[in-house]
Amino acid sequence: MTRPFRFGVNLLDAAPAAEWRAKCRRAEELGYDVILVPDHLGMVAPFPALVAAAEATERPRLGTFVLNAGFWNPTLLAREVATTDALTGGRLELGLGTGYVPAEHETAGLPYGSPRERVDHLSRTVRELDRLLGSQEHEPRPLQPRVPLLIGANGDRMLRLAAEHADIAAFPGARPGSAPGALEPLTANELDERVARYRGLAAGRAEAAELNLLIQLVTITDDPEPVLKPLLERQPQLTTETALELPIVLVGRLEDVVARVRALRERFGFSYLTVVEPSMEAFAPVMERLREESA
């Protein structure tokens, strides 16, 4: 059975209270199903931002996309999750990842660790959260019986962790680049392989997870070249043609972008798409067209 689409927007820019609430209300007006926040230094603190988003909105789910597990002690994180779920009326979705920016850890005075150490810490965090939040003795209590868990994954060990524990398996559509903290986009064939690897690891699940893809660029235009120029400067291995084929890039005429979104679900199984804040307005007509088609 084909899952219905869900759409989320990751709000990146900090703002004063009135502006933040207005931005969240705008996301709800545009039809986003999930309002998300990242976990990077220089951006909003995730949990208070989500509580403020809940006060400003009624319908959207609210989530972290994704928490850097290296910033968090699992016991203290369980307290934050339970409190935030209660204060948002049970609308929380918890996204977790290993973190990928060494400079942020250095600034925070926290160890960064090897890839193995970071995945080990995330695995311990997931297990400890399950234990603590699953106990009726834990205080405070979340409102939901289980706060949905999203795990952002690309490498084999992360895909295994997502297959074993995540309600939502989130694919970044990119891998670490040569520079620290930089990301390099995956081609459609490379993403095919990663999704197939995940499906093999998740074959024994009683219930299939929702699959998410993070879209980095959305623009409705008849002239994609100027839009793609900054991406091509950052990723010199790409051409205009190969950039337009990237799963994380949705640039072109409205009908073409709508067709690309349908194809992402048909080819990869991505029914939950997340866009970043600069694309929030641009993606709105795509959501509207897709919902008209399914009505």
Residues 21-75 have pLDDT tens digits of 999 999 999 999 999 999 999 999 999 999 999 999 999 999 999 999 999 999 9
Rounded to a whole number of angstroms, the CA Rg of the chain reads 19
Per-residue confidence (pLDDT) for residue 1, from 0 to 100: 74
Average pLDDT taken over every residue of the chain = 96
Structure token pair of residue 19:
């502006």
Which of 72, 182, 214 has its CA nearest to residue 132? 72
| CA gap 172, 170 in Å, rounded | 6
CATH number for region 6-294 = 3.20.20.30
Give tens-digit pLDDT for 84-108: 999 999 999 999 999 999 999 999 9
Terminal-residue alpha carbon distance, the chain: 17
Domain residue extents for the chain: 6-294
For the segment 107-153, what is each residue's pLDDT rounded down to a tens digit?
999 999 999 999 999 999 999 999 999 999 999 999 999 999 999 99
